[in-house]
Structure formats: C-alpha cells, structure tokens
Amino acid sequence: MTGAAFARIFGCRPQATEAVPGRVNLIGSHTDYNGGMVLPVALPLGVHVAMAPREGSAIRIHSARFGETVTYRPGESPRGHWADYAAGAALLAQTHGLLAGGADLWIESTLPVGAGISSSAAVIVGVLKAARQIRGADLSDTEIAGLARQVENDYIGVPCGIMDQMAVAIGSVDRAMALDTETLEFDLIDLPAALRVCVIHSGIDRALADGRYKLRAIECAQARRAFADRPLCRLRRTDIEAAGDVAEISRRRARHCSTEHQRVVAAIGALKSGDLQDLGRLITASHASLRDDFDISLPPIDRLVADAVRLGAFGARLTGGGFGGCVVVCIARDLFESWLTRLLAAHPAARLIC
C-alpha cells in the first residue's frame, strides 16, 4: 500500500499504518476458551492497515483485494460482509475513545479468507493498533488483543477465546508463543533452524460464523456445567472417565480439552529441547483427538494429514476452528521441497499457503 493509493481513494494521506501477521496454531485447538495452553506461530503473511481520521462519525473502509469501498455508521449491525471485522474494530475504537470521530481505512491482505489462519483477528488488531497510534493511547498489545476479542465475541458473534488476538498482536515470525489463556502469561520460543512449519490449505473453505464453531462452544459450556464449572482443560482424564452421570458428548468434549492441554504442555517441552520427533507425535495425536472426540475434522482432511505424515513429516494436524481450512505440518527443512511435490500430487485440491 502506498500513500498515493490511499489518497486516490480517500483524498488524503494516511496518518497511521500497521502490519499484522496471520498465525497458525501448532497445537492447542479449542483450549483457549476452556482455560488451557496454546502454541501458535506468527506467519510471514499478514494484513496491512492504513488509517486517517475524518470528520463526522462514519467509517469508510476500502479493500485492496476486493476493490470495494463501504461505509458503516455508529450503531450499525454486522452485514455478513468482508468489511464487518474492520468496521467492528473501528466502531469499538470510537466507544473506547481511540477514535475521536470517523475514519478512513485501507485494508490490504496476503492472508486467504476462510483458511483458519486468523485473517479476521489480524484485520481487527490492525485497525485497533492504527487507532491507538493516531490517538497516542497508552494501551499495551495485550490490551489491544482483549479489545479485539471483544469485537469477535460481541460484534461478529463468534464465541472465540483470546489465542488468535494475542498471537497476531504480539507474535513474531519463526517464534512460537506458549500462551496460558487463563493468565495471559506467555513465552516466545525460537523455532529450530532444521524445522519447517508449513500451512497447507485443504481446498475446503470454512467460516467460523456459520454456527458449527458456536455449537462446539455451547457443548463445551454444557460439559463445564457437568463437571461442576471446572475449566475443562484442567480436568484430569481419570476424573472424566470416572464420572458416571455425564452425557457422552460432554465427556468427549471434556476429554479432548483435557488431553489437548496436556499435549500442548508436552509440545512446549519438546520444542524447547529440540525433540522434533516428539513434537510431531503430539501434533498428530492432536488431530486424532479433534477427529474422534471433538468432531471437527472431515474425511478429506484426515486423508491429507495421514499422507503428510506417511510421506515424511514429523507431524500434521487440522488447524483453526475446524470443518475445513488448513492443516499445519512440521517437516524437516531439507526434505520440504520433495515432500511437498509428492503431497500435492496426491491431493490436487490442496495448495501451499506458506
């Protein structure tokens, strides 16, 4: 994005620009809203946001990808439109005093939509950071992440946790974020030079707002009530299996959350020690849990994961909210090119994201 391009659309120069990465989650699916650990990695792909304040209260948003400019006003509900995420962030910025009035926004993204690599969180965080920059507000990146989650939960209507927002607000490329979603304490861990983390799109698009993600969140809330409102990730598996009066679907959702949290803790240790074989084993076990206990995978994605490992990857799993999107794969860097050629030959609908 250039200032000249912004000026052609809006007739002025931007006063703030922000670059925000996407993210892929190595391991820790659906644990962030159930009191557990996650291990996301920032991606080299991302979103660029440019902003200039304007008179009045209207928010004008231009997408370089779609070549379209739309306008939102305070109090306006989401439209089911690509601009909802940027609009929700700007409208929240107004209510929190980060925007004194209206704003012109330019959004440019290299992140594919519907892939499960946090394009929505990157847009929201980018808008909030740009507003913070213009206002000169004393808000930390963690506080920005909290506001971004509020946009997703309250404006868009997706009952997500805090992982995506923290990962894109704070994370950096080639480092994993070991994040405790209960305390928001985190550690940034360098990825080993011999490890290539890649993202493969399955060819099946997905959307968090289509109801299935929300259904899993509802089922997890029901499971929490069945276990006396204890965070599912902090339950012991023996307690889950021993409970005799719990519905089977609640037991399975709790079992995934509990074992997934434990796998994340183990994966953090494996990554720090450089044990890539164990890291891969844990990642692949995570996929099996998502398939069998959380019911968010699909047969074509199961086959893609199985072939990724069969052809030589340390491990692979579905990443994101589920029901399509991407798989994340850990592979030895020196094997990547030949491995990728064979994998894509076996799965013509799949494609490399990064």
What are the sequence ranges of the domains in the chain?
3-189, 192-352
Q: What pLDDT does residue 209 have?
A: 45
| Residue 116: pLDDT over 90 | no
Would the pLDDT of 115 be above 80? no
Q: Tell whether the model's pLDDT for residue 285 goes beyond 70.
A: yes
Paired tokens of 107 = 């959004």
Q: Which of 164, 275, 278, 293 is catalytic?
A: 164
For residue 117, pLDDT beyond 80: no
pLDDT at site 208: 52
The CATH classification number of 192-352 equals 3.30.70.890
Give the whole-angstrom CA distance, residue 30 versus residue 43. 20
The whole-chain average pLDDT of the chain stands at: 94
Angle between helices 276-292 and 248-273 (to 10 degrees): 170
End-to-end CA distance of the chain: 21
141: annotated active-site residue: no
Question: Residue 54: what are its φ and ψ, rounded to 5°?
Answer: -140, 160
* Eight-class DSSP state of 64: T
Whole-number Cα distances in Å, 260 to 43, 79, 106, 189, 195: 23, 35, 38, 19, 22
Q: Is the pLDDT of residue 303 over 50?
A: yes
pLDDT at 94 over 90: yes
Give pLDDT tens digits for 181-224: 999 999 999 999 999 999 999 999 875 545 787 899 999 999 99
Structure tokens at 287: 């996929």
Q: Which residues contact 349 (CB under 8 A, 6 or more apart)?
A: 202, 203, 204, 300
CATH dotted code for 3-189: 3.30.230.10
d(CA 146, CA 21): 17
- As a whole number, mean pLDDT of residues 54-71 equals 96
- Does residue 1 surpass a pLDDT of 60? no
